[in-house]
């Protein structure tokens, strides 16, 4: 789609879509000198992943509030615009057109779900808008090498392989059943786990898909139980993960339940209850409470919002800060409103950012070079840290 068509579609969506959260560090459409700059966030503010999306969007707002006075000193009014994609690809496309159609938007903290970012990335690319995801991990997202697309989380090729290695080398398990939720995220991750697991000696007894939103998996689990797997690996999100592990225990299955970062959150415990005990989950990076650079963010978030960080807040915060740092660099270099997007793309993709996650740099496809995953054991309703690994360790 050409940029002209994107612009036309964007204008139509801007008039059709409303209700977004539009706040900033100053009033009016024009700042005293440079004008208005808008950092957008497109995240699931409603729907099944609202808890994750709201934490991430709050982290973005926090970053904008911190930067607003600095931009004001340079003559620019800094604003934040939050759009809800509700974890729905069609709504994600509408939101992507809306924020890209706003000429003041210089960057987007874009999407929690891979199934949303994959189609929306075409919009950001066509509009020349830098979009950095705080959470999406599907391998295909960065394969086209669009300069406007990046993410601060390592992709599922890393997560799936490291999890299979962890299962074999540290859990000493060999026979597994694999289940996925048929999404681009869950199925893609499960396929990586299955394929790499097969090359290192894991015996994959079965590979089955479920439907997102379903709550009764006993028929499938009863079939899997006959194979007597030592563990079940699930690629998907926390609601289905919680129901799966709960129904496993109701059926008397003692298999270890293993899942991914999409299941890592309080909702996993809320749905699965005591059945979650002993489950193993992976999550990107080194634990945030073990990273000294993250402590100020964690304390600030707790103080500002009255609740602790649960999952992707630090990732959204770093994504926002990379975009804001790049925008400030563009301002300092004398970029005007028309040249701001291109300057931010160039700055963000070349950045060496020291933030809550440690050091973030992007490769030529837009993937972070900070490719580590940590493993946790569900214990008494909390995630107990086990270890952190990167490929080759």
Report the distance separating Cα 259 and Cα 360, nearest Å. Answer: 25
Contacts of 152 (CB under 8 A, 6+ apart): 132, 133, 134, 315, 318, 319, 322, 357, 360, 368, 370
What distances in angstroms separate CA 270 from CA 93, 121, 255, 261, 276, one per listed residue?
A: 31, 33, 21, 16, 10
Report the distance separating Cα 305 and Cα 51, nearest Å. Answer: 13
Contacts of 87 (CB under 8 A, 6+ apart): 44, 47, 48, 49, 53, 112, 113, 115, 116
The answer to whether the CB of 109 falls within 8 A of the CB of 319 is yes
The answer to whether the CB of 376 falls within 8 A of the CB of 285 is no
pLDDT of residue 392: 60
Domain spans of the chain, in order of start: 3-154+291-362, 156-284+373-390
The per-residue pLDDT string of the chain (393 residues; one tens digit each, 9 = 90 and over) reads 433 333 334 434 333 344 455 555 443 344 345 799 999 999 999 998 999 999 999 999 999 999 999 999 999 999 999 999 999 999 999 999 999 999 999 999 999 999 999 999 999 999 999 999 999 989 999 999 999 999 999 998 999 999 999 999 999 999 999 999 999 899 999 999 999 999 999 999 999 999 999 999 999 999 999 999 999 999 999 999 999 999 999 999 999 999 999 999 899 999 999 999 999 999 998 888 888 989 999 999 999 999 999 889 999 999 999 999 999 999 999 999 899 999 999 999 999 999 999 999 999 999 999 999 999 999 999 999 999 998 766
Give the class (CATH, top level) of 156-284+373-390: alpha beta
pLDDT of residue 144: 94
pLDDT of residue 3: 39
CA 389 vs. chain centroid, Å, equals 19
Picking from 103, 35, 109, the residue whose alpha carbon sits closest to that of residue 72 is 35
List the beta bridge partners of residue 207.
178
> φ and ψ at 87, to 5 degrees?
60, 25
The answer to whether the CB of 245 falls within 8 A of the CB of 270 is no
Q: Do domains 3-154+291-362 and 156-284+373-390 have the same CATH topology?
A: yes
- Find the length of the chain: 393
CATH level 3 topology of 3-154+291-362 = Rossmann fold (3.40.50)
Report the distance separating Cα 101 and Cα 96, nearest Å. Answer: 8
Please give the model's pTM, rounded to 2 decimal places.
0.80
pLDDT of residue 20: 53
pLDDT of residue 196: 97
């Amino acid at each position: 789609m050409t940029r002209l068509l994107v612009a036309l579609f964007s204008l139509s969506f801007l008039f059709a879509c409303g209700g977004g959260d539009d706040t900033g560090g100053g009033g009016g459409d024009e700042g005293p000198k440079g004008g208005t700059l808008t950092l957008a966030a497109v995240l699931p503010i409603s729907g099944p992943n609202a808890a994750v999306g709201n934490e991430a969007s709050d982290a973005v707002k926090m970053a904008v509030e911190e930067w607003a006075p600095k931009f004001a000193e340079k003559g620019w009014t800094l604003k934040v615009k939050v759009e809800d994609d509700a974890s729905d690809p069609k709504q994600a496309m509408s939101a992507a057109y809306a924020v890209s159609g706003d000429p003041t938007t210089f960057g987007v903290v874009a999407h929690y779900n891979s199934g949303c970012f994959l189609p929306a990335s075409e919009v950001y690319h066509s509009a020349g808008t830098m979009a950095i995801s705080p959470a999406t991990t599907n391998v295909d997202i960065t394969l086209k090498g669009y300069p406007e697309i990046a993410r601060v989380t390592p992709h599922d090729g890393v997560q799936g392989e490291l999890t299979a290695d962890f299962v074999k080398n540290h859990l000493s398990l060999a026979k597994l059943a694999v289940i996925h939720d048929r999404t681009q995220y869950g199925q893609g991750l499960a396929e990586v786990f299955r394929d790499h697991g097969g090359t290192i000696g894991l015996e994959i007894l079965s590979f089955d898909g479920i439907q997102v939103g379903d709550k009764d998996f006993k028929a499938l689990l009863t079939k899997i139980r006959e194979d007597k797997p030592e563990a079940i690996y699930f690629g998907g999100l926390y609601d289905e993960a919680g129901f799966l592990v709960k129904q496993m225990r109701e059926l008397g299955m003692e298999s270890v339940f293993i899942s991914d970062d999409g299941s890592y959150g309080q909702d996993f415990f809320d749905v699965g209850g005591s059945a979650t005990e002993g489950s193993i989950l992976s999550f990107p990076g080194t634990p945030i409470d073990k990273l000294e650079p993250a402590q100020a963010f964690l304390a600030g978030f707790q103080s500002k919002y009255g609740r602790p960080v649960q999952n992707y807040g630090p990732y959204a915060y770093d994504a926002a800060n990379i975009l804001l740092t790049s925008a400030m660099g563009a301002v300092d270099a004398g970029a005007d409103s028309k040249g701001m997007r291109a300057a931010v793309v160039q700055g963000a993709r070349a950045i060496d950012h020291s933030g809550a996650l440690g050091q973030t740099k992007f490769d030529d496809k837009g993937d972070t070079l900070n490719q580590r995953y940590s493993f946790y054991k569900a214990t008494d309703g909390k995630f107990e840290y086990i270890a952190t690994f990167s490929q080759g360790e």
